[in-house]
Amino acid sequence: MKFKLISISLIVMSVLTAFSFKDKEIPVEIIPQPNHLQVHKGDFKVAGAVFSYTPNELEARTILAINSFASQISLVTGQQNRVETDGSAKDKGFVFQVNSSLGKEEYTINIDSDKALIQASAFQGFFYAIQSLAQMLPVEYFAAEKNTKVDWLLPQVEIKDAPRFAYRGMMLDVSRHFYTVDQVKKVLDIMAMHKLNRFHWHLTEDQGWRIEIKRYPKLTEIGAYRDSSILGPWRGDKSRYDGKRYGGFYTQEQIKEVVAYAYDRGITIIPEIDLPGHMVAALASYPELGCTKGPYNVRVGWGIANEVLCPGKETTFDFIEGVLTEVMDLFPSKYIHVGGDECPKVEWAKCPDCQKRIKDLGIKSDEHHSKEAYLQNYVTARVQKFLNEHGRSLIGWDEILEGNLAEGATVMSWRGVKGGVEAAKRGFDVIMSPNTYMYFDYYQGKDYKKEPLAIGGFLPVERVYSYEPYDGIPDEAHKHILGVQANIWTEYIAKEKHLDYMYLPRIDALSSVQWCDRGTKDFARFKQSVHRMFQRYDALGYSYSKVIDGIYGLEGVSGGTN
């Protein structure tokens, strides 16, 4: 009798287990956290589910995104997901439907046992819905290989989601260290996964010019290469060098390829041609563009150079306009970034051409600024006028606020938040990328010596997550805060896996600041979701920092402090 009782209880237990398995809530850990999310009990079976949509209602890139999602599911489940485009499969499976009452970046997802209904009004909304769906699937989805050990289920959810900020950016410096087309595409993939939509591509610097300009071929023949690179930390004259020629650049065909790749992921690329400072690679190529006419060498050290473009000479403006004409042909972005940061005025003060320009323009110094500071305003205004005449708008680093700045310029606040606060109060649009929260070249672990050598600073993921972009901005000026961006300067980041490490998982915190409604962030929830994200990064083979769990360092990249 005893034996019989046990077997009955085993049967009851297994029935209960099956029942509770079917009815359990599948945890939802999406970054950035959707703004309205309700999870219900129960699931939806993904393997073999039909995908349906009406092609003539959708952009080509939307269809591409849906089809890629369907093929990835087919690959990992090992079962083919049929795609129906004739309207015959609207009641079952994945249904993608246009809902024109939603905003461009907005989407809804409603999943019950039979159907996953995805609605959006435009490509962006559909694309973000797919990113959220991917993050609700088992992490093995990201491994891109067949896996029959996993339950290929989605949770039953209701999601209605849209971003807080329209501008959700990240910047990569490819000049201090060069990253190939494939490496840049990987950055774009990771940005897209986090629903970022602006890639600021820092293409020119003292240490390397990275974009082919047909009118000025020496920019890449000469300017794209330096003779040596720093070993270890920058110590001025005491720095050590490797003695190896270093460089590279993108052809215009490669640039077009990257722009198209970004477009298919909802990302606009904003190119930066940093001027009139940070121009030594251009000066090395065309010494006549400088105040002293050189000779100049592409810089091998870091830091700020006194050698800058000479705005006293008309040929300098011919050069700038020639470069920007080709840049505008390659990049459809409304915004073109023209730098403006860290431009020493020592050479302008001594240069007869610059002084003549100052005299001709009637520029006077005052208690706030030197004549040469106002000369930089002249450069900015002239470049802005040129861009505006071609239907584009200027972005510059917050130095462009010093002195006069013409209406219509957008300011990128980097020296903390104060430039952004001032610009918004003065009525300029602003992108907040303060080095007090958003410089991903800074250390992220407190015990610096155990971290890969970095430029300095300390910005742990908690601090990035804590950033509130409206802090210090009066209510009436909130409309000028277009969004938030993180910057990755690469003086100390020479390898792809080190690059990954510097922005994973800080990009998770960044995307939360950019996307999540004010007052909805929750670090404990975020931290849990980051651990799920780590599993996705593992599946994708990406390097990332585990310092959030007290684990330091990156194999193959030496640690240290500056």
Nearest residue (CB) to ligand ACM, 138 versus 396: 396
The distance in angstroms from the start CA to the end CA of the chain is 76
Pairing of the two strands 107-111 and 115-120: antiparallel
Looking at the DSSP assignment, which residues form a beta bridge with residue 43? 155
Residue 342 binding ligand ACM, by CB under 6 A: yes
Residue 220's contacts (CB-CB under 8 Å, 6 or more residues apart) are 209, 210, 211, 212, 213, 249
Binds 266: which of ligand ACM, Zn ion, none (CB < 5-8 Å by kind): none
Nearest distance from C-beta of residue 203 to ligand ACM, angstroms: 14
Residues in touch with Zn ion (CB under 5 A):
291, 310, 312, 351, 353-354
Tell whether omega for the bond before 344 is within 30 degrees of 0, i.e. cis.
no
Give the nearer residue to Zn ion in terms of CB position, either 120 or 351: 351
Q: Could you say which residues in the range 409-448 bind ligand ACM, by CB under 6 A? A: 414
Tokens found for residue 260: 């198209």
Residue 338 C-beta: closest distance to ligand ACM, Å: 12
Indicate which of ligand ACM, Zn ion, none lies near residue 310 (CB less than 5 to 8 Å, by partner kind): Zn ion
- Of the two residues 265 and 357, which places its CB atom closer to Zn ion in the complex? 357
CB of 318 to Zn ion, least distance (A): 15
Identify what 312 binds: Zn ion, ligand ACM, none; CB under 5 to 8 Å per kind. Zn ion
Closest CB 102 distance from ligand ACM, rounded Å? 36
Q: Which is nearer to Zn ion, 180 or 306 (CB)?
A: 306
Min CB(439)–ligand ACM separation in Å: 7
Binding to ligand ACM by residue 302, rule CB under 6 A? no
Q: Judged by CB, which is closer to ligand ACM: 195, or 337? A: 337
| Interface with ligand ACM in residues 361-400 (CB under 6 A) | 397
CB of 487 to ligand ACM, least distance (A): 6
Answer yes or no: are the C-beta atoms of 124 and 197 closer than 8 Å. yes
Q: What is the DSSP string of 238-263?
A: G-EE----EE--B-HHHHHHHHHHHH
Minimum separation from the CB atom of position 226 to ligand ACM (A): 19
Q: Which is nearer to ligand ACM, 249 or 397 (CB)?
A: 397
Cβ-based nearer residue to ligand ACM, 59 or 341: 341
The 3-class secondary structure across 368-436, one letter per residue, is: CCCHHHHHHHHHHHHHHHHHHHCCCEEEEEHHHHCCCCCCCCEEEECCCCHHHHHHHHCCCEEEECCCC
Other C-beta atoms within 10 Å of 520: how many? 15
Tell me which residue of 155, 68, 69, 142 sits closest to 534, measured CA to CA: 142
Q: What 3-state class would DSSP assign to 103?
A: coil
354 binds, among ligand ACM, Zn ion, none (CB under 5 to 8 A by kind): Zn ion
**Shortest distance, CB of residue 270 to ligand ACM, whole angstroms?**
14
- Residue 342 interacts with, from Zn ion, ligand ACM, none (CB under 5-8 Å by kind): ligand ACM
Half-sphere exposure of 511 (CA within 13 A, CB side): 27
| Least distance (Å) between residue 555 CB and Zn ion | 48
Neighbours of 472 (CB within 10 A): 15
- Our CB check for ligand ACM shows the closer of 414 and 442 to be 414
CA distance 390 to 80: 49
| Shortest Å, Cβ 397 to ligand ACM | 5
Secondary structure E strands in 5-100 = 36-45, 51-52, 83-84, 93-98
Decide whether 326 or 342 has the Cβ nearer to ligand ACM: 342
Sign of CA dihedral 480, 481, 482, 487: positive
**Cβ atoms of 439 and 489 closer than 8 Å:** yes
Sequence-ordered list of residues with C-beta below 8 angstroms from that of 325, at least 6 positions apart, any chain: 215, 390
Closest to Zn ion by CB, 155 or 312: 312
Residue 397 binding: pick among ligand ACM, Zn ion, none (C-beta 5-8 Å cut-off by kind): ligand ACM
Q: Which two tokens stand for residue 390?
A: 């071609």
158 binds, among ligand ACM, Zn ion, none (CB under 5 to 8 A by kind): none
> What number of chain residues touch ligand ACM (CB under 6 A)?
4
Instruction: Residue 351: name its binding partner from Zn ion, ligand ACM, none (Cβ under 5 to 8 Å by kind).
Output: Zn ion
The option from ligand ACM, Zn ion, none interacting with 291 (CB < 5 to 8 A, set by class) reads Zn ion
- 231 contact partners, CB below 8 Å, separation of at least 6: 239, 240, 241, 242
Interacting residue ranges for ligand ACM, rule: CB under 6 A: 341-342, 397, 414
